[in-house]
Copies of this chain bind each other. A is one copy, B any other.
């Protein structure tokens, strides 16, 4: 299926590893030029090299924590007129509600909600004027099913989802879509780290911790990053311009609710 986006340009925040990297790869394969971002220079450069070599597109590295205005500047310097933007970032650690003080809240909100919105501010008008834009946020399945141990994750992410939904209502008239993808348990480094946490916390083996992850997913397996990347690429396609304001769960069918 031709996605109609060959030659377009994308800024992908937090794309040197995991789901972000998979998104970059799926876009690059479709001929999209990409800006790759991450905090570890070696990861960013390697990703750029690999995508350039494999797909012949332009891949520009921007190293740094993309929750800061400086890195926003650098991303836009690397690609002043992006057609596609991926909003992504590391989730906060599990924290008991009673341990979240004002400073932790402020930090989690700045990183997970405010910073992506400030970046959207800088790109949305241009997208609307050029009459093409695809903004996609990677969120978490927990936004629709909040878990009391993950308040710092689903709180800011729900706020982000709501603001993006509001914006989507006016942007779609200009062929700028804004959608959110809600993953649960993909086979990335994050789940390996989580398994190690659980292993130590419960005193079980790594294999047992991994088996618990699998058991929590109705599909009976973890998601493959390429499945995520290809869904993202479809949402960014030319023919997805009539779909906006959606929250698409990629969770192995695990969400309980009818809507």
A residues with CB within 8 A of B? 1, 3, 26, 29-30, 97-98, 100-102, 105-106, 109-110, 113-114, 117-118, 121, 124-125, 143-148, 150-151, 154-163, 165-173, 175, 177, 218-220, 223-224, 226-228, 230-231, 233-234, 237, 239-253, 255-259
Contacts and interface: CB of A to CB of B under 8 A. Distances in A.
B147 A166 contact: yes
B102 A109 contact: no
Nearest to A4: B230
7 contacts: A97-B166, A105-B118, A219-B241, A226-B239, A243-B250, A245-B249, A245-B255
B240 A227 contact: yes
Contacts of A226: 239
A239 B230 contact: yes
A15 to B, nearest CB: 18
A233 B237 CA distance: 13
A258 B146 contact: yes
A160 B158 CA distance: 9
Contacts of A257: 144-145, 256-257
A230 B219 contact: no
Contact of A155 (B1, B97, B162, B256): B162
B118 A102 contact: yes
A121 B98 contact: yes
Nearest to A145: B256
Top 6 nearest A-B pairs (CB, nearest first) are: A172-B253, A244-B253, A146-B166, A159-B159, A158-B162, A257-B257
A125 B98 contact: yes
Contacts of A251: 242
Given A97-B121, A240-B231, A173 B218 contact: yes
A94 B159 CA distance: 16
A59 B246 CA distance: 33
Contacts of A256: 145, 169, 256-257
Contacts of A246: 248-249
Given A172-B219, A253-B245, A102 B121 contact: no
